[in-house]
Structure 1
């Protein structure tokens, strides 16, 4: 499973257009194989900064969506609404035993088994 975080800085006055485009993008993503969840966040300190966080079953599922024609079309619209290029970061989940004991990821299956 991977979590994709996309940071965007909206051009002033284009927030409603960005929100509409992001909603369309999410609607399309929800129909894609491998999509698990998503949310859109706006910075409390800087309302021009938007984050989209989505979860996918695998990096391959995300890459298939990222390269799809429908996503590329919407991304070109979104790019025109931004003050600077977006930043995309992809994170994988840390499973118990894959990192030091200080890892902050909870293994839900282990919790179920220990009860």
Structure 2
């Protein structure tokens, strides 16, 4: 099932060139991973130092493999140096139907 991963980052002012280089390298490496479909980077209009990256993967397992890889974690450590706060993640599955069990209803 297709997975959409929302990655929220806010950066400290300055060092834009270094930040963009790291993000571009990270995206280039992600694109070579099994299951990677696409990525989008959205910048907040009111706070241009904050962004949301939407990654699309063939499965949540493909994302987990990349998320937990040494290669990705190396980039994450470098990116964190420029961030105002820790990265936030949200993992979503495309078209997953809710069942009463999923939302805690009694049968």
Question: What's the TM-score, normalizing by structure 2?
Answer: 0.86
Q: How many residues are aligned here?
A: 98
Q: How well do the aligned residues superpose, as a CA RMSD in angstroms?
A: 1.4
Could you tell me which runs of 5 or more consecutive residues in structure 2 were left unpaired when the two chains were aligned.
Answer: 99-107
Correspondence list, 1:1-115, <5 A:
1-94=2-95, 98=97
Counterpart CA distance in 1 for 2:18 and 2:42 is: 15
Question: What's the TM-score, normalizing by structure 1?
Answer: 0.80
Q: What SS does the aligned partner of 1:71 have?
A: helix
Counterpart CA distance in 1 for 2:91 and 2:18 is: 25
Greater relative CO, 1 or 2 (CA 8 Å, sep 6+): 2
> What are the Cα deviations for residues 6-55 of structure 1, in whole angstroms up to 9, with x where unaligned?
00000111332221111100000000000000011211111111111110
